[in-house]
Structure 1
């Protein structure tokens, strides 16, 4: 299937996290096209000190999914009633967002393809801006997937098992996974603009707290 023709702004405004993913396989040519778009993303100093580990092995998925659910329960699952009972505007996950994230946690293995973006010379780094050398390219991955009708989300909820994951994936000793991106054709939901705070509430001009009236008619 040919990719959907989208303007850059249309794609940027309609690529939410898709957490209900069907197990249907992603054709190899489509997967390669998405990955080829990802590596066109920005890289600090153009060093491209990255690797992209594509996982389809059920045994690897099963192991990582166990770590993921362990963390999910600790961070979110244990607060299920509290989150679902919170009213609108309470911040954090909405009830619908929580249910989607919960579904992903319980069905992570169903996503036919996982991608781990990996940075070299990153293990043990204390640089808080380390991800700037790869996260732009990760967004390229998500936007390219969107054009092909493939849903993605970006998560690090498998965290706390990096050494085991490095061994499981056969990564070099200096490498660090920067995220997990499950990919699959959406099983439910739609391509919609993610809900966010109004832009004029979070943008500052020259100094923090300095605002400027938004031009009428601006998109």
Structure 2
């Protein structure tokens, strides 16, 4: 499926939850404003601690802004992953962590980030100087709502923070309040490669604990 869905309401919730992988090969076709508003209207229905709703959502289509941020992104990509390209691509199938295809998709995004037609920065007020590691709980549920709404419209997303390290410059570039912090970057566009498939994960039975860590329970009917 690569075209915009004509009836977003037709996608069952559980199917969306199971089939919203990161989509990193995106068309440059613009996203209609009405679809952008629909996705953000779904995003703001997400959970907010104390219903404070201390968030903002910066929609970016300006090529100059994208170009500058994409440069920071590529610097970090090359430092963290690009320098390990040969090592990662030589890993045998089934190796934990980033797979070969996953690496190539992420590499493509790094090289073509500014080509994604739509970026959305979820922004949290009061987070600029925060030291609480749980502060993201007041926005990341809403970010997932955004990604699921995009899925319903046939649009691909990925959630990344690899542009980080330039917060003061980014705050000025986006005109953010002094107390605000971008919590992620979500590039959005129509997928041109890949499919809506379940991301590969460890079996749920291996990671679920009942009442205390290490206590398991058989999963009936499997």
TM-score (norm 2): 0.96
Whether the aligned pair in 2 keeps the contact of 1:4 and 1:149 (CA below 8 Å) is no
Which residue number in structure 1 is paired with residue 162 of structure 2? 157
Are 1:95 and 2:100 an aligned pair? yes
Residues of 1 paired with 2:191 and 2:151: CA distance?
Answer: 10
Match of 2:17 among 12, 15, 32: 12
Residues of 1 paired with 2:180 and 2:120: CA distance?
Answer: 15
Which residue number in structure 2 is paired with residue 131 of structure 1? 136
Which residue number in structure 2 is paired with residue 215 of structure 1? 220
User: What's the CA shift for 1:109?
Assistant: 0.7
Are 1:172 and 2:177 an aligned pair? yes
Q: Note the residue ranges of structure 1 that are not aligned, 5 or more in a row.
A: none
Are 1:22 and 2:27 an aligned pair? yes
Residues of 2 paired with 1:6 and 1:83: CA distance?
Answer: 36
Deviations 1:39-90 (A, max 9, x none): 0111000000000000000000000000000000000000001100111222
Residues of 2 paired with 1:90 and 1:3: CA distance?
Answer: 36
User: What's the CA shift for 1:206?
Assistant: 1.1
User: What's the CA shift for 1:4?
Assistant: 5.5
Whether the aligned pair in 2 keeps the contact of 1:55 and 1:61 (CA below 8 Å) is yes
Which residue number in structure 1 is paired with residue 40 of structure 2? 35
Deviations 1:185-209 (A, max 9, x none): 0011110011000001111111111
Are 1:111 and 2:144 an aligned pair? no
Which residue number in structure 2 is paired with residue 78 of structure 1? 83
Residues of 2 paired with 1:211 and 1:203: CA distance?
Answer: 7
The DSSP-based 3-state class of the residue aligned with 1:196 is coil
Deviations 1:120-139 (A, max 9, x none): 01111000001000000000
TM-score (norm 1): 0.97
Q: Note the residue ranges of structure 2 that are not aligned, 5 or more in a row.
A: 1-5
RMSD: 0.8
- Worse overlay, 137-146 or 2-11: 2-11
Which residue number in structure 2 is paired with residue 144 of structure 1? 149
Deviations 1:150-177 (A, max 9, x none): 0000000001111111111000000000
The DSSP-based 3-state class of the residue aligned with 1:137 is helix
The DSSP-based 3-state class of the residue aligned with 2:85 is helix
Residues of 1 paired with 2:93 and 2:181: CA distance?
Answer: 37
